[in-house]
Amino acid sequence: MTNKPLKTQIVVVGGGAAGLALVRKLGAKYGREKHDIILIEPNRTHVWKPLLHEVAAGALDANADEIGYGGHAARWNYRFFPAALEKIDRERQMVRTAQVFDDDGELILDNHEIRYDYLVLAMGGVSNDFGTPGVREHAMFLDSRAEADRFRNKLLGQCLRVDALHDLEGKDANLPICIIGGGATGVELSAELVNSVRALRSYGLERFDQDAMTLTLLEAGPRLVPALSEEISENVRDELVDLGVDVRLEAMVSEVTENSVKLKDGTELPAAMVLWAAGVRGHHGLSEMTDLELSRSGTIVVEPTLQTKNDPRIFAMGDCCFCMLPGAERPVPPRAQTAHQMAEHMVHQFDRLEKGQRLEPFVYDDKGSLISLSRFETLGSLMGNLVGGKMAIRGRFARMAYMSLYRMHLLSVLGWWRGGLTIVGQFFGKVAKPRLKLH
Ligand SMILES: Cc1cc2nc3c(=O)[nH]c(=O)nc-3n(C[C@H](O)[C@H](O)[C@H](O)COP(=O)(O)OP(=O)(O)OC[C@H]3O[C@@H](n4cnc5c(N)ncnc54)[C@H](O)[C@@H]3O)c2cc1C
């Protein structure tokens, strides 16, 4: 479609990998005078989601890596509205935000209506429990910083309990943990937990060692990290088995109870903690929030231009969108590099809108996938002309490539100067701080 030049209010919902990069770039490009750019986000600070398994295992102090939205907005010429989106009124071009309460349950902000000329939805996704009984009640997820913190606190509590029980029950006291889903999140968290637990002795839990934890990784399919080649899947599995993880493939979970995980074949595994990481879906309640077309997994269906099917003024990007590109067999995958590329694409779309030009379809450039098994190993594949197609990598070079994804995110949301300083600061911070964050 061709559009009139715009003097506009651009509302972006969700300040994650995609949304924060977008508002930063739009703010830097247009400034406050030209357009009014508003970010709606319920959290006060941003933590890059692919770090959450490290936060959950205590390997990373998220306080040191978070970015405050308020200061970021002041620096990059956009407005930050600290609330969650509750409803989209397409007819009036208005969004309504939810009420905000403080820790004591007192109302801080009432419902609020914000007008938009263009709306960009970047609310991410949540773990898909596929309706499995007991998951919502008894399992934990890694969908947000709060959930990662909750997992870490519970982990520490359970480790302390087992450590104390060792005095009474000897070596029999054990902490059984089940991780469900052998994709990147499940695999990376497993390795990170082994790393943390091995270090606990030097953090005062004198009787706790790796034998005190039974870590089981359950995957319904025939191999781990199915997005990667069979060879890499095998390597990942071998590494985890060497680390003492009980990897079970073709293990379909039928129910999660208060203290166990039941499999379809009748096996029941004891579990003091269960982490569910089996796939991504759209936010629950999205269908009440909007009448936009949703996919079977509850994500917002978009055209290749990232405009929603029903409304050309509303765009969706990142994990919350379902984007099937022409000629592709599968939708664009929910990954950090997708979020980054879509944000970049949206900056150009606004440029085209402003010039009254036709919008262009999004092109996904798969740069490969890397899996970090904590400090033990990094492996995966890179794609592109530079490496002559597809190349399997592991070790130090893979680690550097893996780290570069986060560094690119920092540069993208903080700019070259501040992003560069932050990267240097984090490097020295790592040397100065303890290895684990266990509070
Ligand atoms: C543990 C873990 C490890 C991962 N590792 C990798 C990896 O190694 N490589 C990779 O490519 N990808 C990885 N991913 C996937 C990657 O994190 C996501 O694909 C990416 O973050 C998606 O970006 P997004 O902006 O769409 O969503 P998010 O980054 O999830 O951001 C969504 C934002 O929307 C906000 N929000 C939610 N609901 C509302 C609402 N109602 N109103 C307003 N705001 C709302 C949220 O608070 C959040 O800030 C990992 C994910 C996890 C959980």
The closest-lying atom of ligand 1 relative to the alpha carbon of residue 20 is 25
DSSP symbols for 362-417: P-----EEEEEETTTEEEEEEEEGGGTEEEEEESHHHHHHHHHHHHHHHHHHHHHH
The closest-lying atom of ligand 1 relative to the alpha carbon of residue 49 is 17
Helix (H, G, I), strand (E, B) or coil at 33: helix
* Residue 403, pLDDT score: 87
* Residue 215, pLDDT score: 96
* Residue 390, pLDDT score: 74
pLDDT tens for 24-46 read 999 999 888 788 999 999 999 99
Integer angstrom CA distances of residue 317 from 14, 114, 119, 284, 322: 10, 20, 11, 17, 8
* Of 119, 121, 123, best ligand 1 pocket probe by most atoms within 8 Å of the beta carbon: 123
pLDDT tens for 106-158 read 999 999 999 999 999 999 999 999 999 999 999 999 999 999 999 999 999 99
| Residue 55 pLDDT > 70 | yes
| Residue 16 pLDDT > 70 | yes
Q: With bands split at pLDDT 50, 70 and 90, how would you rate the model's confidence at 427?
A: confident
Calculate mean pLDDT across residues 378-400. Answer: 80
Smallest Cα–Cα separation from 278: which of 214, 189, 195, 366?
A: 189
Question: Residue 60 in contact with residue 33, Cβ under 8 Å?
Answer: no
The closest-lying atom of ligand 1 relative to the alpha carbon of residue 52 is 1
Q: Whose CA is nearest to atom 23 of ligand 1?
A: 17
What is the chain's Cα-based Rg?
Answer: 22
pLDDT tens for 366-384 read 988 899 999 899 998 887 6
Output phi, psi for 428, to 5 deg: -70, -35
Integer angstrom CA distances of residue 236 from 102, 118, 188, 216, 333: 43, 43, 10, 15, 21
Task: List, in order, residues 6 or more apart from 37 with CB less than 8 Å away.
Answer: 10, 12, 23, 26, 27, 30, 77, 78, 79
Q: What are the chain's domains?
A: 9-125+282-363 (3.50.50.60), 135-276 (3.50.50.60), 369-431 (no CATH)
* % of the chain at pLDDT higher than 90: 70
DSSP state of 43: S
